[in-house]
Amino acid sequence: MKYQLNENIAINEMLNQVVERINQLAQQQVAHIQRLTRIGEALSSETDLAKIFDMILEEAIEYTGADGATIYMVNEQAQQLEFVIVYNRTMNMRQGGSHGKVDWPPLPLYDEEGKPRINRIVTSVYHTKELVYFDDVYEAKGYDISGTMMTDKSRNYRSKSMVTLPLKNHEDEVLGIIQMINATDSAGNIISFNDEHRTMLSSLASQAAISLSNRHLIESLETLLMQFMSAIAKAIERKSKYSSNHITRVAQLTDMFALKLNENGSGKLRDLKFNTNELTELSMAGMMHDVGKIVTPEFIMDKSTKLETIMDRIILVSQRFTTMKTLLKYVKSSVSAGEYEDKIKAWFGEKVFPEKVEEYLDSELEFITKINQGGEWLPDEVIARIAALAEINFEYEGLHYFLISEDEMKNLQIRKGTLTREEIREMAQHVHVTWEMLSQLTFPKKYANVATYAAQHHEKLNGKGYPYGLTAEQIPMQSRIIAIADIFEALTAPDRPYTKAKTLSEALNIIARCVRDGELDRDLVDFFLDSGLHLDFAKQFMDPAQIDNPDIKALKQIYF
């Protein structure tokens, strides 16, 4: 478009050329700003480091026409520069970013005495935090460029123009370095990195640093969250003198389960896969599945025998039996034989003969000591035998004598295990507390289901689980995995106070019966057996004496 700016034709032509040039420059600047805006938006939304580095590289090359580029990252200890991208168009070379790792050794930032290395261009930029550029790097003074020259010679290349600039965060901390080599014009000729190039690269470096800093911050916060969860889990485990590693082992088995499923390519679960975020979410849930036990009384968690409270009351019971035997000796020596016989019948009942009463007491103490250990289901006749002992309760010469109290009878009559119904309900509260605690936390959106998965590990597919009695349709696959891991670890753990550790075959037999009864997921248990995952866990965490040779086919027959 021509403008009438002056009556003089020559001057008017010259002014129009100036206007056109200004318009071109303005359009270029607008394009640069738009490009920076787009790259800024892209960098701010991208979380994959490899893609972030690819975007930095591509934008820098597109603007400067550079023939080569290298991007370095400062390692975690801030002692080395690690190569993350190496690019050279002429050499047809591209490593790093989404093209795999760079196999070059890192550059040390300090010498053997701990002094900063400032004789190399890239390490000097790290320490000075300032951009440097050269029209011809071979003429750079004060720097050792022998490595560049040697590399060029071996590859028949000539590095000439160069710009090296730091990626600095808001705290002026250098996160990495960008180095560009051989800027080119539209004809492919090597030119210097001009002011516009350097300004653009500096803006790009600032945006890249913000993106990297945000990514580091997110990673740090996620690491802190995982560390916090791990610390809480350890604290809960330390509450118990017995099950000191249950939470950790369940979390590890849960992780192993998910990873094994991701590797699976056949069977009913071949399409069940977890992405990176889902793996982390499940791992968190596995680690937090028993967080509610933080409020469970220790005397319940550690109740290794039926009579245990602060101490195992079998000691008191044993003393009463001894006192009773001493009393009987005293009575026998103090009264006539007939009176003694009458008292024995009155105190112990018609079934206990006076001449056999001490044998009876020894036998019953042995019986109670055995029953006190918990274990499998108690039949009705055993329950009645315990009740009969509680009925031995009398006074003699102003003193009260008995063998077991009403509360001790109640505990000894526990049908299975070592916990009363009230204590079981108290123990079961931990899943309610798990939900209450975790549901109050604002997890990142990608980990939004941690509380749900963690709090459902005692639900059963048949609707008979707790705390909510959910049905199969309401229980996600992640919760089902944790449920299997929790039961299997509990069965095989060598440090449980209330039961002897099962062998591998015994544990899997119980798991199979849980499937038969509609409690556990059939397909997941099939996979647990067929994939060898049960054996992987056993070799890593179980006592070798527990590891036998389970018959997988026979186990599956239990629930098919």
Residue 221: pLDDT band (50, 70, 90) is: confident
Rounded to an integer, what distance in angstroms lies between the CA atom of residue 316 and that of residue 342?
Answer: 27
Distances (CA, A) of 174 to 163, 414, 504: 16, 66, 54
* Amino acid 43: pLDDT: 55
* Amino acid 205: pLDDT: 85
Residue 46: pLDDT band (50, 70, 90) is: low
* Amino acid 312: pLDDT: 82
Place of tokens 């509990």: 490
Rounded to an integer, what distance in angstroms lies between the CA atom of residue 254 and that of residue 496?
Answer: 20
Q: How far is CA 221 from the centre of its chain?
A: 14
* Amino acid 256: pLDDT: 96
- Interval 47-85: pLDDT, tens: 666 777 787 888 888 888 999 999 999 988 889 999 999
Higher pLDDT, 318 or 232: 318
Residues in the chain: 560
Give 172's contacts (C-beta < 8 A, 6+ positions apart).
129
Q: Please give the average per-residue pLDDT across 546-557, as a whole number.
A: 94
End-to-end CA gap in the chain:
84
> Domain 240-303+421-559 is in which class?
mainly alpha
Q: Per the structure block, which two tokens stand in for 374?
A: 């918990």
* Amino acid 432: pLDDT: 83
Higher pLDDT, 261 or 101: 261
Residue 352 contacts residue 362 (beta carbons within 8 Å)? no
* Amino acid 304: pLDDT: 67
Residue 1: pLDDT band (50, 70, 90) is: low
Residue 360: pLDDT band (50, 70, 90) is: very high
Per-chain mean pLDDT for the chain: 86
Q: Please give the average per-residue pLDDT across 309-332, as a whole number.
A: 89
Residue 278: pLDDT band (50, 70, 90) is: very high
Q: Please give the average per-residue pLDDT across 412-440, as a whole number.
A: 81
* Amino acid 420: pLDDT: 73
Phi, psi of 179 (to 5 degrees): -130, 120
Nearest to 361 by CA among 329, 313, 407: 329
Helix or strand run (H / E) with residue 68: strand 68-74
Residue 320: pLDDT band (50, 70, 90) is: very high
Rounded to an integer, what distance in angstroms lies between the CA atom of residue 405 and that of residue 386?
Answer: 11
Residue 211 contacts residue 219 (beta carbons within 8 Å)? no
Residue 182 contacts residue 160 (beta carbons within 8 Å)? yes
* Amino acid 241: pLDDT: 58
Question: Is the pLDDT reported for residue 303 higher than 80?
Answer: no
Q: Per the structure block, which two tokens stand in for 530?
A: 């067929």
Question: Is the pLDDT reported for residue 471 higher than 90?
Answer: yes
Nearest to 63 by CA among 33, 84, 99: 33
* Amino acid 511: pLDDT: 95
120 φψ region: left (φ > 0), alpha (ψ -120 to 50), beta (else): beta
Q: Please give the average per-residue pLDDT across 509-523, as a whole number.
A: 95
Question: Is the pLDDT reported for residue 479 higher than 70?
Answer: yes
For 225-239, 396-410, 429-443, 480-494, which range has the lowest pLDDT when averaged over its residues? 225-239
Eight-class DSSP state of 138: G
At the topology level, CATH places domain 48-217 in Beta-Lactamase (3.30.450)
Rounded to an integer, what distance in angstroms lies between the CA atom of residue 401 and that of residue 149?
Answer: 100
- Interval 493-503: pLDDT, tens: 876 555 678 89
Give 530's contacts (C-beta < 8 A, 6+ positions apart).
267, 552
Amino acid present at 408: E
Residue 292 contacts residue 433 (beta carbons within 8 Å)? yes
Rounded to an integer, what distance in angstroms lies between the CA atom of residue 172 and that of residue 166?
Answer: 10
**CA angle centred on 81, ends 79 and 86, rounded to 5°:** 170
Question: Is the pLDDT reported for residue 29 higher than 80?
Answer: no
Give 307's contacts (C-beta < 8 A, 6+ positions apart).
313, 314, 317, 372, 408, 411, 412
Amino acid present at 80: Q
* Amino acid 359: pLDDT: 92
Strand partners, 102: none
